[in-house]
Structure 1
Amino acid sequence: MLILLLYFFIFIVVVQLVYYLGIFSNFAFAKAQKITPKRIPVSVIVCAKNEEENALAFVPLLAEQNYPDFEIVLIDDASSDNTLEVFEAFEKQYENVRLVKVQNNEAFWGNKKYALTLGIKSAKKDYLLFTDADCYPTSKDWITAMTSQFTMHKTIVLGYGGYEKISKSFLNKIIRFETVLTAVQYLSWAKAGHPYMGVGRNLAYKKEEFFNVNGFINHIQIRSGDDDLFINEAAHSENTTIAYTPESFTYSKPKTTYKEWFIQKRRHVSTANHYKTIDKIQLGIFYSSQFLFFTTAIILLSWQFQWMIVVGLVVARYIAAWTIVGSTARKLKENDIKFWFPVVELALILLQMNIFIRNILSKPVHWK
């Protein structure tokens, strides 16, 4: 049995190396990206529900963008706080801000996709740039950096949305590491010609792409997925590209308790169950191989079976993974994450298994 387990462990290590060195290296070792400014008219779309404080802090940063032709479409999704009043004040303050008021609809009660659809249809520009109400751009050239990647054929741009750093917080390191690991996956696959998801915190596409797939209609009954399920359906190798200059990044305030983050991740994982079959398979293989790498290594080492071979394979896998993660973290300005890689990775794998089991037993909560 132990010799069979060793062969299985070798296979798992090979799978991990294929992912890290064969796929994720597409982004990790990609050359620095250049910004070629374009004068594409853009509608920046922000959908908010009970985001009064974040709207006050971050909408002005959008209004101050250094870009010649853009509007900001603020969507209030039937908020119960003062978000609507804040948006109304911004509409009066800035000439290029327009407000879309969403009333609760019996057929689409509390559905963010319904609110976004109204905002997209009201947008006056042909190119749409999305972010969340709790997000902010890293520079005044965010719109320029994201739209610079549009071409005649590349009409979907996937960007990076990170989280603020909180010192002396292990949870924050887990959150930011998970964000980097997710980013290297969807950005690498997109660069390799197989885009499968994007993040609504930083995403752009031409309006016609929305109507080409009839908007969110094919997954309107799924409360989440206005970003990743849309990209999973609409994106392909010919129409999708990525933006990864530092000026193109956005940042959000991270969760500060394990419970809040756990609920958020349960929602994200449940949405991935609705991806295309091929995408679910490639994600399932990667995350399963991560878990199996640790479990089989621990079993073999506990029995001290061919321990020199096992240790050699563990070291080889760690060198490859650490190199890719480190290069990605540096590119995404999350450099400190690489120093915590071994500990944070193991903690994340254990939490992910917990999330997987919990999602089987009960459904997670979605949009506010």
Structure 2
Amino acid sequence: MVLLDIIFYAFVAVVFIQAVFYIFFFGRFAFLKAKKVSSKNIPISVIICAKNEAKNLKAFIPSIISQDYSDFEIVLINDASNDNTLEVIKDFEKQNSNIKVVDVKNTEAFWGNKKYALTLGIKASKNEFLLFTDADCKPLSKHWIKEMSSHFNNKKSIVLGYGSYSKIKNSFINKLVRFETLITAVNYFSFAKLGIPYMGVGRNLAYTKKEFFNANGFINHIKVRSGDDDLFINQVANRKNTAICFSKQSFTDSIPKTSFKNWFRQKRRHVSTASHYKLKHKILLTLIYSSQLLFWLLIIPLFTFMYNWQITSGLILFRFILQYIILGKSSKKLDETDLLFFLPLLEIFLIIIQLTIFINNLISKPNHWK
């Protein structure tokens, strides 16, 4: 019985920790009201780095060219592709005067390093304000540039946006991919609103050239192949210089992985950068994940032996109600409400996958930028 007592009180503590995070952290974003920000029409450089993306570029670049914005250029970076990516972007350049092509060759020092290619693209851009997306992404409206750029001001030099993944009917892996994306976005938007921003996603991210060069670019983590988005933001973002943009007209949409193997490999690359985050971020993120894992693990012995089952059931119900309210509000903002029906199942799968990724990354290093 002593062991069950310990397990029970540990469960109470875990639910308390979860409640604190949902109310005081994630609630900051869930109940946030979007403020109308006037468009500034500042000159913008949209930067896209592509490696073997000829097909996607043909499909998605037109949605960027057709943006309803008065002053922008598109910097297309060919990162040593071995398909006809360079030919595709040169064709776009011929047809559009506001497109600039940067052709990157592999070098011995920076072989296959996306950060090197991005650095060359940033240097080639003519504008101070930079907006980033990926070659397989498309803006969901013609006002993407306007919405993202409107959050720049004298104090805000970084804008975090939302990059969604396309919905595929009757696909559980698609729901899992999108659920992970939703949870990640809720995390980084909430942390930013609390004044402790820790990451952004390169599918929809903006910052100034001054911010980039003041930090000496990616030099502090140039040897870490991933992290051109989250590690850079983790390094330079703070309470004063970071804004968030979550209007639906500011979203980008990407092609999701359709096989578990490919998605798992992708997430291994993404998760590998977390060990380089600032200590305060690592502590908070570890606490969030650990409390989620323990919540489900501790339920098993408590219900197996029906130990204080009334209180245990009440705590579980309380946590689920709180979770549905917070994630429900957040998913409505990010247009992902269809995921709520599968919430407990998706959460369990994601927790197991994250644990598996952590163990795998301890054993071997993941592959990187194509």
- For 1:183, the equivalent position in structure 2 comes to 185
- TM superposition shift of 1:49: 0.2
What's the TM-score once normalised by structure 2's chain length? 0.99
Superposed CA RMSD: 0.7
- TM superposition shift of 1:343: 1.2
Q: Which amino acid aligns with 2:235?
A: E
Match of 1:6 among 5, 8, 24: 8
- TM superposition shift of 1:81: 0.3
Q: Which amino acid aligns with 2:79?
A: D
- For 1:34, the equivalent position in structure 2 comes to 36
- TM superposition shift of 1:33: 3.4
- TM superposition shift of 1:70: 0.2
1:25 counterpart = 2:27 = yes
Match of 1:65 among 64, 67, 73: 67
Mapped partners of 2:270, 2:10: distance in 1: 30
- For 1:199, the equivalent position in structure 2 comes to 201
1:309 counterpart = 2:294 = no
1:116 counterpart = 2:90 = no
Shift in alpha-carbon separation, 1:198–1:156, aligned structure 2, 3 A: same
Q: Which amino acid aligns with 1:8?
A: A
Q: Are 1:160 and 1:250, in contact at CA under 8 Å, matched by a contact in 2?
A: yes
- TM superposition shift of 1:350: 1.3
Q: How does 1:1-368 map to 2 (within 5 A)?
A: 1-368=3-370
- Secondary structure of the residue that 1:114 maps to in structure 2? helix
- Secondary structure of the residue that 2:48 maps to in structure 1? strand
- TM superposition shift of 1:349: 1.0
- Secondary structure of the residue that 1:301 maps to in structure 2? helix
Identity %: 58
- TM superposition shift of 1:35: 3.9
Mapped partners of 1:177, 1:36: distance in 2: 32
Mapped partners of 1:117, 1:242: distance in 2: 24
What's the TM-score once normalised by structure 1's chain length? 0.99
- TM superposition shift of 1:190: 0.3
Q: Which amino acid aligns with 1:219?
A: H
- TM superposition shift of 1:51: 0.4
Mapped partners of 2:344, 2:10: distance in 1: 22
- Runs (4 or more) in structure 1 with deviation over 2 Å come to none
Map Cα deviations across residues 210-237 of structure 1 (whole Å, 9 max, x no partner): 0111000000000000000000001000
- TM superposition shift of 1:340: 1.3
Mapped partners of 2:294, 2:363: distance in 1: 22
Deviates further, 212-221 or 322-331: 322-331
- TM superposition shift of 1:32: 2.6
- TM superposition shift of 1:263: 0.3
- TM superposition shift of 1:326: 1.1
Structure 1: state its 5+ residue gaps: none
Q: Are 1:156 and 1:206, in contact at CA under 8 Å, matched by a contact in 2?
A: yes
Q: Are 1:112 and 1:223, in contact at CA under 8 Å, matched by a contact in 2?
A: yes
Mapped partners of 1:20, 1:130: distance in 2: 30
Mapped partners of 1:365, 1:9: distance in 2: 37
Map Cα deviations across residues 114-162 of structure 1 (whole Å, 9 max, x no partner): 0000000110000000000000000000000001111110110000001
Mapped partners of 1:84, 1:35: distance in 2: 37
Mapped partners of 1:106, 1:8: distance in 2: 52
Q: Which amino acid aligns with 1:299?
A: P
Mapped partners of 1:275, 1:356: distance in 2: 15
Mapped partners of 1:274, 1:264: distance in 2: 18
Map Cα deviations across residues 214-266 of structure 1 (whole Å, 9 max, x no partner): 00000000000000000000100010010000011001000000000000111
Structure 2: state its 5+ residue gaps: none
Map Cα deviations across residues 31-83 of structure 1 (whole Å, 9 max, x no partner): 13324111110000000000011000011111100000000000000000010
Q: Which amino acid aligns with 1:154?
A: K
